[in-house]
Amino acid sequence: MQTRILYTKPSITDLETRYATDAAANGWGDKCYDYIHRFEKQFREHLGSRFAIATSSCTGAMHLGLAALGLGPGDEVILADTNWIATVSPIVHLGATPVFVDVDPISWCLDAKAVERAITPNTKAIIATHIYGNLADMDALLDLGAAHNIAVIEDSAEAIGSVWHGNRRAGSMGLFGTFSFHGTKTITCGEGGMFVTNDEALYETVLTLSNHGRARGQKKQFWPDMVGFKYKMSNVQAAIGCAQMERIDELTARKHAIFEHYKTELGSINGLSFNPEPHGTINGAWMPTVVMDRALGITREQMIAAFAQNNIDARVFFYPLSSLPMFAPVPANKNAYDIPERAINLPSYHDMTDEQISRVAAVIKTLMTP
């Protein structure tokens, strides 16, 4: 049997190992935040944001940011129905109401027109998730936010390396952005996240909330000024992150090269669409994805079975959040319900060989051969 092709795994070199070993051996006492502060600095400089706070997860970063906005019962947050549960769970935990709207059929991201129709006097925020590295229409969403005085937030968990028009990096355009460093991501710490913003007051509030409510300027030892959270990243995790940030150009370039290889192999086939990359943008290509035209009759289940038969990991397109048992269905979100039934994520880890990419592409070609 051929060697199994995983859908993703991190790229860890001697540099990450050395930094993590140093943090484990020496990063204690007055050095316990050294790698954390270094990682935050590297990240904000790369992104072009004024402030960055390393967190234990992207979910934690989102929870902190929404809590700092004062989100609570009676408030509504508009988000795409095509999403992972992590985007909506902080909304629910804070007692607010998620409002699921449909996605654009090309970008698979938040449909700005659907957002506009969903705005009410109770709308407190709009969360734009850049799914799989695809970019939401940030210009349209930011205009909506400005017109209605609503915060626009970027869930950029999957979008490191993605760039919107005018060299604006994903996560740097909204009131705040969040990132994930889970082991599946382009940049990883094993687990972890980052909160970024250009708003100084919001930054200070989130910084306080992230440290059990202890304000940076508080002189009393162990004196919280509010009830906060414990969403800190460890120094050892941050050490791995520092090494990854030193390699970020290499890591993001490799993701894009794999994406381009798939497009070369499969892009000329009628009835198949890929992650879009509109002129003037860069798709970070965290998870190259193919969507079959419905007329072909090729289903998600058929694709999963074909990959399994060829010893290749398959990863399904996210189910609509409103289809999950804890939420009320919103079948009017036709694209969010339709696309996952005929889509599949393709393996795209850093060390994939050209031969392995071609092996994956061959499965798709076989499925589409009458």
- Give the CATH number of the domain where residue 280 resides: 3.90.1150.10
- What is the percent of the chain with per-residue pLDDT over 70, rounded to a whole number? 99
Judge if 46 and 159 occupy the same domain: yes
Interatomic CA distance for residues 34 and 185, integer angstroms: 23
80 band by pLDDT with thresholds 50, 70 and 90: very high
Q: What is the pLDDT of residue 217?
A: 86
Three-class SS state of 254 = helix
pLDDT for 1 beyond 90: no
Average pLDDT, integer, range 205-233: 93
pLDDT for 5 beyond 70: yes
Judge if 144 and 18 occupy the same domain: yes
Which amino acid, 161? G
Q: Which of 229, 246, 263 is the last residue of a domain?
A: 246
Do the domain assignments include residue 301?
yes
What domain range is 277 assigned to? 248-367
Q: What is the pLDDT of residue 2?
A: 86
Burial (CB < 10 A; 0-12, 13-18, 19+), residue 263, is: middle
Judge if 239 and 325 occupy the same domain: no
Q: Which of 246, 281, 307 is the last residue of a domain?
A: 246
Q: Are 60 and 180 in contact (CB under 8 A)?
A: no
The pLDDT tens digits of the residues spanning 149-188 come to: 999 999 999 999 999 999 999 999 999 999 999 999 999 9
Interatomic CA distance for residues 110 and 81, integer angstroms: 8
Judge if 234 and 324 occupy the same domain: no
Number of domains in the chain: 2
The pLDDT tens digits of the residues spanning 85-115 come to: 999 999 999 999 999 999 999 999 999 999 9
Mean pLDDT of the chain: 97
Buried b (16+ CB within 10 A) or exposed e, 184-200: bbbbbbebbbbbbbbbe
The pLDDT tens digits of the residues spanning 120-137 come to: 999 999 999 999 999 999
Longest CA–CA span in the chain (Å) reads 73
Judge if 200 and 253 occupy the same domain: no
Judge if 128 and 190 occupy the same domain: yes
Strands (E), the chain: 51-55, 76-80, 97-101, 123-129, 151-155, 163-164, 168-169, 176-180, 193-197, 272-274, 289-292, 315-316, 343-345
Do the domain assignments include residue 5?
no
Interatomic CA distance for residues 260 and 245, integer angstroms: 23
pLDDT for 268 beyond 90: no
Residue 58 CA to chain centroid, in angstroms? 8
**Phi and psi, residue 105, nearest 5°:** -70, -20
Three-class SS state of 207 = helix
Three-class SS state of 180 = strand
The pLDDT tens digits of the residues spanning 323-362 come to: 999 999 999 999 999 999 999 999 999 999 999 999 999 9
List residues bridging with 54 in a β-sheet: 194
Q: What is the pLDDT of residue 196?
A: 98
Q: What is the pLDDT of residue 370?
A: 66
- What is the percent of the chain with per-residue pLDDT over 90, rounded to a whole number? 96
Average pLDDT, integer, range 71-81: 98
**Interacting residues of 30 by C-beta distance below 8 A, sequence separation 6+:** none
Do the domain assignments include residue 2?
no
